[in-house]
Each structure stands twice: as structure tokens, then as C-alpha cells.
Amino acid sequence: MADLFAPATQAVPFVLPTEDGFDASWNERWSGFDVTVPGGEFFYAEHFFSKAWSDRTFAYLQENARGDWRSIDWRTVPGDALDQIGFTNIRWKQDSLKLYGKSIALPRLTAWYGDPGAAYTYSGIKSEPNPWNDGLLHLKGRIEELVGTAFNSVLLNWYRDGKDSLSWHADDEKELGVDPIIASANFGATRDFQLRHNGDHKQKITIPLKHGTLLVMRGALQRNWKHAVPKRANVNGSRFNLTFRSIMDDRSEPPRHPIKGASARLSCS
């Protein structure tokens, strides 16, 4: 006879290799999976944010003075016209990389928010953080409750459709400290987030990040694995990804603490 009082068995909703070193266990308290992989770990909660909360955030990130965000085809708005949209809550921008003397627009829009002085340098361009707003602080607070650590900055990525992407990289800048905790909140279209082991590219995991999913990367993951968001021809809608980070003061010795006024360098396309 079935044991009615046994906890429901949860199956991780993506394929995890069956080899040694890979494991997933259900975390009842936070309703997600603690996943270990060779040389790293992460936490995955498919529905961390409720549908109502996620819908509200999805709107918040797009509200603007120009009109109803639902009726705007963002793919047709040129990067240099973003300022004229008059975004209510987020100062979206189109960054470019300099490659062989040519300026190439990144295949996504970005914004950087954080404590005063938490600047970051991207392809030689230093971006000062926008000051926190209530919406972002709300999300940050909710995630900090789970992670038990304070974040002092957040990078926002807006993938307008499946043509937008992010290439292979690790969040391993010196300013993020050794084995940083990076919390990734996701709203809008589901996109595949891929992880690839540095030493063995055949070790690859594809994780669907959905409307309301939280992924917390931790341990040595950034040292041993890279991640990417590949293009997907079948994705038509917007997807927002917010990675909360703690920038460290590189003058301090380990254990290092998040401070105001440090800067990070990011370098991926």
C-alpha cells in the first residue's frame, strides 16, 4: 500500500548526466533542487517567483512613457532610440563591443544597477551603476532571504527574442571574489541556459530557465564551468534575466566582504 505520508518524489526537470559527480536532491524548505556537478554546484527552483509576481516584474521591466509595452515590437526599436522610449523603471541600453576596429552591437539589451560606486567595465567602457529602485530591491530582498548573503549589484539582460543570446563565459572576474554566489532571476520566455565543463566539453547540461525560475550558481562552478544562452529560432517573446552579484573590494584579504565602491569587468558577447 502506498505511504500517504511519504514526501512526494521530485524529479529534476532537465537531463543530468548519470556519471559520478552529478547529483540532485530536493530541497523541501526552498522548493528547489540542490545540484552538484563535478567541480561546482547550483540551486534550481523552477517556480521560485509566483506567476503573479513574475507577471508584475515582466511588466515593470518594460513600462515606458511611449505606450503599452504589450503593443511594442522591441526588435524594431533601434538601440540608439532607447532613451526616447522613456522607460519608467529601468534604463535599458544597447552596448557594443569593439572587434577588429568595428563596433558590434551586443545581441541583447542591458542595464546595471547597484550600490554607489559599484561600477563595471565592459569592453573598455566603464558603466556607473544606476541607483537601486523599489522593484529591484524587492527582488533582491526576496533572493537574499534564500541565499543568506547580501548582493550589491545586479546585471539585467533583455533577450528581445530568440535571436538575442549570450556567448560562453564564466562570471569569474577578480572583483566577484573567489567562488562567487550569483543568483539569476528569470522572467518571460523560457530560454535554455547551458553549462559546459572547462575540461570536457562533452559534459554539458541544458537547463530551461522559465518565467519565475531562480538559479543560484555557487561553489567552484565559475572556476570549472562556462555558461551560455544560445540563440533559439523558435522563441518569439522577450525574456529578462537578472543576475544579482556581490562585487568585492580587491584590497581586502579573504574572507572578502561585499563593499560599496568596487568595480567589476565583464567580457562576453
Ligand X SMILES: O=C(O)CCC(=O)C(=O)O
Kindly report each contact of residues 252-259 with a partner whose C-beta sits within 8 Å and lies 24 or more positions away, as own/partner. 254/177, 254/178, 256/177, 256/178, 258/149, 258/150, 258/151, 258/152, 259/152
DSSP one-letter code for 261 = T
Distance CA 210, CA 214 (A): 9
Of residues 199-218, those binding ligand X (CB under 6 A)? 209
Angle at 206 between CA 107 and CA 225, to 5 degrees: 80
Rounded least distance, CB 175 to ligand X, Å: 14
Size of the site for ligand X (CB under 6 A): 11
Of residues 109-138, those binding ligand X (CB under 6 A)? none
Rounded least distance, CB 241 to ligand X, Å: 3
Cβ distance to ligand X smaller for residue 171 or 175: 171
Which of 157, 203, 246, 263 is close enough to bind ligand X by CB under 6 A?
A: 157
Of residues 162-181, those binding ligand X (CB under 6 A)? 166, 171
Which of 43, 193, 225, 244 is close enough to bind ligand X by CB under 6 A?
A: 193
Cβ distance to ligand X smaller for residue 167 or 236: 167
- List CB contacts of 154: < 8 A, sequence separation 6 or more: 112, 113, 114, 136, 140, 242, 243, 244, 245
SS percent in the chain: helix, strand, coil, step 5: 15, 35, 50
Cβ distance to ligand X smaller for residue 54 or 86: 54
Which of 184, 238, 246, 263 is close enough to bind ligand X by CB under 6 A?
A: 184
Distance CA 123, CA 234 (A): 30
Rounded least distance, CB 9 to ligand X, Å: 28
Alpha-helical (H) ranges within the chain are 51-60, 82-85, 134-147, 221-224
Rounded least distance, CB 28 to ligand X, Å: 26
Cβ distance to ligand X smaller for residue 239 or 256: 239
Spell out, one character per residue from 15 to 44, where the chain touches ligand X: x when CB under 6 A holds, - when not: ------------------------------
Q: Which amino acid is at 8?
A: A
Spell out, one character per residue from 217 to 256, where the chain touches ligand X: x when CB under 6 A holds, - when not: ----------x-x-----------x-x-------------
Rounded least distance, CB 248 to ligand X, Å: 17
Cβ distance to ligand X smaller for residue 155 or 189: 155
Rounded least distance, CB 186 to ligand X, Å: 7
- The end-to-end CA distance of the chain, in Å, is 55
Distance CA 164, CA 233 (A): 10
**119-122 vs 263-266, strand pairing mode:** parallel
Q: Which amino acid is at 184?
A: S
The contact set with ligand X (CB under 6 A) reads 155, 157, 166, 171, 184, 193, 209, 227, 229, 241, 243
